[in-house]
Structure 1
Amino acid sequence: MTDPTITRTRTHNEEVAALFLKHSSRIRGMILSMQPDFARADDVLQETFLTVSAKSEQFKFGTDFLSWVYQIARYKVLEDRRRSGKTTEQLSIASIESLLATGSGLLDDPQEERVEALKGCLTKLSPKARQAIELRYAREHPASEIATVLRWTVDSVYVALSRARSLLAKCINEDLRSKGVTI
């Protein structure tokens, strides 16, 4: 006779793995936002899956699965950066989302100058790059939907978003330096 605890655990682990696979393109997109090298991002995605599988018992159904996985993925990206010695300047998802979020509380943020710089830098992007950024961060579309809207391939969307984030990060840092703001 099979132990019900083992069966329940196996089912839980399988359900977590199925959720990961269901959301893998979104998870990959988040990883690419922090690690624009496709090969390294795919390695980080695999490491994230292994960690999620190993820690699947810690996930409680009914809570936010993507938030839980994104946290694991962020740590994996940071580990990858430490191992490789690369510390590329990339704009974080939180920075872009905070800019694109609406609401009066945005200007009360202690990083108001950074947000203002980001607003100015967004206007310097090409119209298509700006549209891709808006679709991804303001409207939360996955890369596959952005590709359909813009009539691009999914890989082209990832490349365009990566380039746009790099340009935004560089522009923001230059703007802040020119104003004497410590970065």
Structure 2
Amino acid sequence: MKRRLLDGIEREIPHLRRYARALTRDPDDADDLVQDTLERAIARLDQFQPGTDLRSWMFTIMHNLFIDGCRRARRRGENVPIEEWMSDASAEPGQLDAVAVREVLDRIADLSPHERQVLERVAIDGLKYEEAAAELGVAVGTVKSRLFRARENLKKLGAAA
């Protein structure tokens, strides 16, 4: 049983890499996230429920690790040398774009886990509704309704910001 699970985990690595790259937008961070996910999954094989979807279980582990990392980074803040901070008070257009991207990512992080997963699969990974439904182990209608709610909640969060 354990050998079959380990073989299944190994087959999921390419899918995990793709999802990690979509989450992190950085190849090195994505590799670290995949490594952490594999480590956590192997350490907790006894918690996997036979008969459930291994890929969904591993994606959930990865997603939770990613969110935990985002929360840690947000608490820690960003270290900026004082010289750099004081050197130029005016913002370049590229800096404004980076701020806008950060705000969108923060809003996405505020979505429910189900909404965020569907949004990532469809809007970021470019999966079709059917593919996202199969990957998440839910019905196509569920994917559509979660995506609608995610987009509506993003609009609300944007209006409140």
Match of 1:50 in 2: 39
Match of 2:86 in 1: none
Q: Which amino acid aligns with 2:66?
A: V
Structure 2 counterpart of 1:31, from 5, 17, 20: 20
Q: Which amino acid aligns with 1:63?
A: T
Match of 1:141 in 2: none
Question: What is the alpha-carbon distance in structure 1 between the residues aligned to residue 120 and residue 59 of structure 2?
Answer: 16
Question: What is the alpha-carbon distance in structure 2 between the residues aligned to residue 50 and residue 108 of structure 1?
Answer: 30
Match of 1:18 in 2: 7
Q: Map Cα deviations across residues 106-146 of structure 1 (whole Å, 9 max, x no partner).
A: 4994455468x8xxxxxxxxxxxxxxxxxxxxxxxxxxxxx
TM-score, normalised to structure 2, is 0.53
Higher relative contact order (CA 8 A, sep 6+): 1
TM-score, normalised to structure 1, is 0.47
- Residue 52 of structure 2 aligns to a residue whose secondary structure is coil
Q: Which runs of 5+ in 2 are unaligned?
A: 79-101, 109-115, 130-139
Q: Which amino acid aligns with 1:73?
A: M
Q: Map Cα deviations across residues 72-96 of structure 1 (whole Å, 9 max, x no partner).
A: 1111112222343479544644115
Q: Is 2:160 aligned against 1:182?
A: yes
Count the aligned residue pairs: 111
Structure 2 counterpart of 1:94, from 105, 115, 118: 118
TM-aligned CA distance change 1:66 to 1:114, over 3 Å: same
Provide the aligned C-alpha RMSD in A. 3.6
